Chains A and B, each alone.
Chain A
Amino acid sequence: MLKEHLLRSLSKSIRYDGRKPDEFRPITVETGIIKSAEGSARVKIGRTEVLVGVKMGVETPYPDTPAQGNLMVNAELLPLSNPLFESGPPGDQAVELARVVDRGIRESEAIDVKKLCIKEGEKVWSVMIDVCTINDEGNLLDAAALGAIAALKDTKFPKYEDEKVDYLTKTKKSLPLLREPISITVLKIGNYFIVDPLSEEEQATDARLTVAVTQDNNICALQKGGETPFMPEDIEKIVDLVLEKSVELRKKL
């Protein structure tokens, strides 16, 4: 949509809602809002809203990790959040969202999965994260990732007795977390880098890079999207920007 006009605005560091290129919209994070979930969070970035719920269960471990708990991340791009989303099985966008959020949590070893083992080779706890989009006005990726980590922090084990999970009784035991990765997506439009895109900015994107970082400022996940290539200098610029902004987002947890 009239990209030249958007670029002209960006050349003056003014975005279509008046923000500066490195500015986030107001962010709110609420936890514990869904009683039926073991952990939950509602994240709003501007008017973009997602709900994240964590359910736990007891399953057999994966054959190659017999003493570790299981992790699964699923994303539902609900049709109620965007007129262009359709009912049905997850499309490419939903799968990418889920996998990017998953990568940030799994690869940073955010959850201490060894502590989720009940009986080696037979029974382990399984952590299932579901992201449901409620209103899409851009930047579902960052909202989902922030919601996932906030929901994990909120998660308490349900009671486990006589080989059965009693979901109606929550214990006071929190999910063992080692790290809290923060994920930020930076978009390149022409020669400009912006964070927290509006829907119109997402449509004008040449390339984007999602970077997940830990508290020690280490990078634990990367995902490039878009059809245009990055120059190596771009990557450095983006990582610096993410490290800088991650401080702001981390305060919301």
Chain B
Amino acid sequence: MTDLLKVKDRDIVVPGEILAVGLGFLPGKGTYRDGDKLIAGMLGMVSVENKVVKLISLSGKYIPKVYDKVIGKVIDVLMTGWRIDIGSAYSAVLNLKEATSEFIERGADLTRIYNLDDYVMVQITNVTSQKLVDVSSRGPGLRKLNGGRIIEVNPHKVPRIIGKEGSMVSMVKQATGCNILVGQNGWVWLEGEPEKEIIAVNTIRKIEEEAHHMGLTDKIKDYLEKVTGVKIQAKE
């Protein structure tokens, strides 16, 4: 019996669609086996690598993952830390000792470090089976975010918005002069001159919409150069 691949790379498939027939194909993420058939277990984009067929998520809420750097909002000040909303079904806890190396007295006012409604960039350090999430703000680039604005993008488009080794987002930063931080949870912080911020926001929305198009990097580069007049130096 011959193995038969019924779809090709980059095809969009829906739950229940048959991806492949034959035991030679292996079920990757988002797929499952039923007899000799490999079936789509969600809405996604096909990615075939050798004999492994997996699906890339196109939509859905952010699922907290260890080591992810995310942007969150302080929603509660606890006895020994803070509760942070990171845009998922599960909030995160930032423990005092993961926030500062200072010695903090018992009963001290924690709001002087992080207050309600503050935005922070943190890193996920642990996710338990019950989805309790621990984060830390000690580390390079992790800190309270002052000023600026926050927009929410589809978390599945974040890799495209950041680009290979940050190449895509640094083009936007270069052309608009804005500070931009992209959280893996799809929350993006921007800060710059109002006219330039709008351009940065529109560009990010453009990348989000056309994330799966080929030749996007050049398209965005041309768009930015046209709209801002800034000649972009390619990153090495």
User: Which residues from chain A sit less than 8 Å from chain B, CB to CB?
Assistant: 1-2, 4-6, 8-9, 12, 14, 16-18
Contacts and interface: CB of A to CB of B under 8 A. Distances in A.
Contacts of B195: 12, 14
18 contacts: A1-B117, A2-B148, A2-B149, A2-B150, A4-B147, A5-B148, A5-B191, A9-B194, A12-B194, A12-B195, A14-B194, A14-B195, A14-B198, A16-B149, A16-B201, A17-B198, A18-B198, A18-B202
Interface string B200-226: 011000000000000000000000000
Contacts of B148: 2, 5
A161 B117 CA distance: 62
Contacts of B202: 18
B197 interface: yes
Nearest to A10: B194
Contacts of A5: 147-149, 191
Secondary structure class of chain A's binding surface, majority of residues? loop
Contacts of B147: 2, 4-5
Contacts of A4: 147
A106 B37 CA distance: 64
Given A9-B194, A12-B195, 18 more contacts: A1-B149, A1-B150, A2-B119, A2-B147, A2-B148, A2-B149, A5-B147, A5-B149, A5-B191, A6-B149, A8-B194, A12-B194, A14-B194, A16-B149, A16-B201, A17-B198, A18-B198, A18-B202
Interface in B185-199: 191, 194-195, 197-198
A8 B190 CA distance: 14
A8 B198 CA distance: 13
Contacts of B119: 2
A223 B119 CA distance: 34
Contacts of B191: 5
A12 B194 CA distance: 7
Contacts of B201: 16
Contacts of B198: 14, 17-18
A5 B194 CA distance: 9
Nearest to B190: A5
A190 to B, nearest CB: 14
Nearest to B73: A1
| In the complex, the 4 A-B pairs of residues with the closest C-beta atoms, listed nearest first | A9-B194, A14-B194, A18-B198, A12-B194
Nearest to A8: B194
Interface in B97-114: none
Interface string B143-177: 00001111000000000000000000000000000
Nearest to A6: B149
A9 B148 CA distance: 10
A107 to B, nearest CB: 39
